[in-house]
Amino acid sequence: MNRKKIKGTTSKAAKQRLPHLLEQYIQSCQSESGATLKKPQPRLANLAGFCRFLGCSVSELEKLKDTAPLLLERIQNSLEDELLNFSPSPTLLNSYLKKRLHYEEEKEEPVTSTSCGEMRLIFEHDIEEDGA
């Protein structure tokens, strides 16, 4: 397999090549099979594998969040699509989506009267007609 390493994923040239390299990686995962298996099986395309294919670290690729957020989102969307089409176990799916693609639930801050202001309810219909 012809693996093209990419150094410094934040350079402009590297950013332009990443979508093409991602497609190469995904195709290689779909065509590869385990050496010990009798029946060829595709590998799961994932972020860590893509970084290995590129010759960089996951944290280096995630630096695109600051310099090219749309490109990083495109990469993550492609890998998410591959994951969902791969039909993994629910545990693997849940874990991968949370840890690598950052689908973790956002923690909500407790609502206080100072953070949201006062709330006033006005009822248009007074059932008991007592003005309360």
Give the other-Cβ count within 10 Å of 14's Cβ: 18
pLDDT per position as a tens digit, 27-79:
988 886 555 556 667 788 888 899 999 999 989 988 888 989 999 999 988 98
Q: Is 105 a member of any domain?
A: no
**How far is residue 47's CA from residue 50's CA, in Å, rounded to a whole number?**
5
Q: Is 113 a member of any domain?
A: no
The backbone torsions φ and ψ at residue 46, rounded to the nearest 5 degrees and listed phi first, read: -145, 170
Q: Is 125 a member of any domain?
A: no
Q: Which residue range(s) make up the domain with 53? A: 12-94
**How far is residue 43's CA from residue 7's CA, in Å, rounded to a whole number?**
25
- The residue with tokens 């590129």 is 54
Q: Is 79 a member of any domain?
A: yes
pTM: 0.59
Q: Is 73 a member of any domain?
A: yes
**CB of 15 within 8 A of CB of 44?**
no
Q: Is 104 a member of any domain?
A: no
pLDDT per position as a tens digit, 107-122:
566 655 555 666 666 6
Three-state DSSP at 14 gives: helix
pLDDT value at residue 96: 75
Please tell me the total count of domains within the chain.
1
Q: Is 42 a member of any domain?
A: yes
**CB of 54 within 8 A of CB of 61?**
yes
Q: Of residues 57 and 16, which shows the higher confidence score? A: 57
Token couple for 119: 């709330």
Q: Of residues 99 and 48, which shows the higher confidence score? A: 48
Q: Is 106 a member of any domain?
A: no
**How far is residue 32's CA from residue 21's CA, in Å, rounded to a whole number?**
16
pLDDT value at residue 86: 80
Question: CA nearest 74: which of 30, 31, 26?
Answer: 26
